[in-house]
């Protein structure tokens, strides 16, 4: 069984439709794929239809953007939760809403030095998508400012860049609580991916675990060997599950579907921990 629990469609910052993503997952030889767009569940229905047709299992999911009190960005994967649970829905709406104003401010700042307009950014995002820095990156690429997304993130869009602006995001412990309250299962995404910016110290993960965090995504390309073994040790010490995934973004990133995988027994435990009406879509 080949299981990949973290991918993005163009409902957020991936480059393929949810249906195309699921078909690509089947072609890549996966038996199960989770759709985990940033702060939205918009792609679930289309992905579920495509999964039934392609004969692959779909795990409905999300990647919730969160931030600690001292400004460290933390991504929390959520699986098999009720997408209509009001408290969770309100936080996701607030994040997505804030992302628009934040991106506009970043574009205003960038436009003082580079050719870029808000319309250029909107042209890179599908209808209703969660707007993020990758869409700004794609506009910069289209306008010839940088060769690709990676180059944009290395400098102009980095969290330490003078053009960078944060958006509203709940605290990671709150995101875990909200996902649990919605009957879902929370897994901390790429917990120690240091090249993205500062990463949290262990006590934050302990606090998340106390709030009901189920696992750590240790096996991820943004973890070097020390980061990976740190995540494995911490999961072991806190009694957390360990997942692995590609964090596929279509052509937006070099990540390939299935490049890291999750054990079938771990997906079974995730399924057993879920208590919402949302279940794995099986072929």
- Does 133 engage in binding with ligand AMP (CB under 6 A)? yes
Q: Which stretch binds ligand AMP (CB under 6 A): 27-35, 53-61, 132-140, 257-265?
A: 132-140
Nearest CB to ligand AMP, comparing residues 196 and 282: 196
Site string for ligand AMP, 245-264 (x = CB under 6 A): ----x---x-----------
Name the closest residue to Zn ion (Cβ).
247
In eight-state DSSP terms, residue 161 is S
Q: Would strands 215-219 and 57-67 be described as parallel, antiparallel, or unpaired?
A: unpaired
- Does 75 engage in binding with Fe ion (CB under 5 A)? yes
Residue 60: how many other CB atoms lie within 10 Å: 25
- Does 150 engage in binding with ligand AMP (CB under 6 A)? yes
Provide the sign of the torsion angle of the four alpha carbons 198, 186, 32, 1, taken in this order: positive
- Does 229 engage in binding with ligand AMP (CB under 6 A)? no
Both structure tokens of 210: 């106390």
Q: Between helices 86-111 and 172-181, what is the axis angle to 10°?
A: 140
Footprint of Zn ion on residues 55-114 (CB under 5 A)? 63
Q: Least distance from C-beta 282 to Fe ion, angstroms?
A: 26
Both structure tokens of 225: 């060997």
Residue from the set 136, 242, 247, 273 that interacts with Zn ion by CB under 5 A: 247
- Does 134 engage in binding with ligand AMP (CB under 6 A)? yes
215: buried, middle or exposed (CB in 10 Å: 19+, 13-18, 0-12)?
A: buried
| Number of residues located near ligand AMP, criterion CB under 6 A | 12
Q: Least distance from C-beta 167 to ligand AMP, angstroms?
A: 7
Residue from the set 11, 189, 209, 231 that interacts with Fe ion by CB under 5 A: 189
- 7: Cβ–Cβ under 8 A, 6 or more apart, which residues? 14, 21, 25, 33, 34, 35, 36, 245, 246, 247, 248, 249, 257
Residue from the set 36, 40, 41, 65 that interacts with ligand AMP by CB under 6 A: 65
* Sequence-ordered alpha helix ranges (H) in the chain: 18-27, 44-54, 86-111, 118-122, 133-142, 149-154, 172-181, 202-210, 225-238, 264-273
> Which residues sit at the interface with ligand AMP, rule CB under 6 A?
13, 38, 65, 132-134, 149-150, 153, 196, 249, 253
């Amino acid at each position: 069984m080949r299981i990949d629990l973290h991918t993005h469609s163009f409902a957020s910052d991936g480059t393929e439709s949810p249906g195309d993503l699921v078909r690509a997952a089947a072609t890549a030889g996966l038996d199960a794929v989770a759709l985990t767009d940033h702060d939205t569940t918009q792609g679930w229905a289309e992905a579920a239809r495509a999964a039934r047709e392609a004969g692959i299992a779909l795990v409905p999911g999300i990647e919730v953007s969160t931030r600690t009190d001292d400004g460290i960005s933390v991504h929390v994967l959520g699986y098999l939760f009720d997408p209509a649970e009001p408290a969770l829905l309100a936080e996701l709406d607030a994040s997505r809403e804030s992302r628009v104003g934040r991106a506009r401010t970043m574009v205003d700042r960038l436009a003082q030095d580079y050719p870029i307009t808000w319309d250029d950014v909107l042209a890179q995002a599908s209808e209703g998508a969660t707007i993020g820095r990758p869409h700004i990156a794609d506009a910069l690429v289209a306008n010839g400012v940088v060769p690709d997304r990676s180059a944009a993130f290395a400098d102009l869009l980095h969290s330490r860049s003078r053009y960078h602006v944060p958006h509203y995001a709940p605290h990671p412990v709150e995101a875990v609580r909200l996902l649990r309250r919605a009957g879902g299962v929370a897994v901390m995404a790429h917990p120690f991916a240091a090249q993205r910016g500062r990463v949290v110290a262990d006590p934050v993960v302990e606090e998340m675990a106390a709030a009901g965090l189920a696992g750590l995504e240790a096996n991820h390309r943004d973890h070097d060997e020390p980061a990976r073994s740190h995540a494995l040790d911490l999961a072991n010490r806190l009694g957390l599950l360990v997942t692995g995934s590609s964090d596929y973004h279509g052509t937006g990133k070099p990540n390939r579907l299935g490049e890291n995988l999750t054990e079938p027994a771990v997906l079974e435990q995730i399924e057993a921990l879920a208590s919402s009406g949302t279940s794995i879509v099986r072929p």
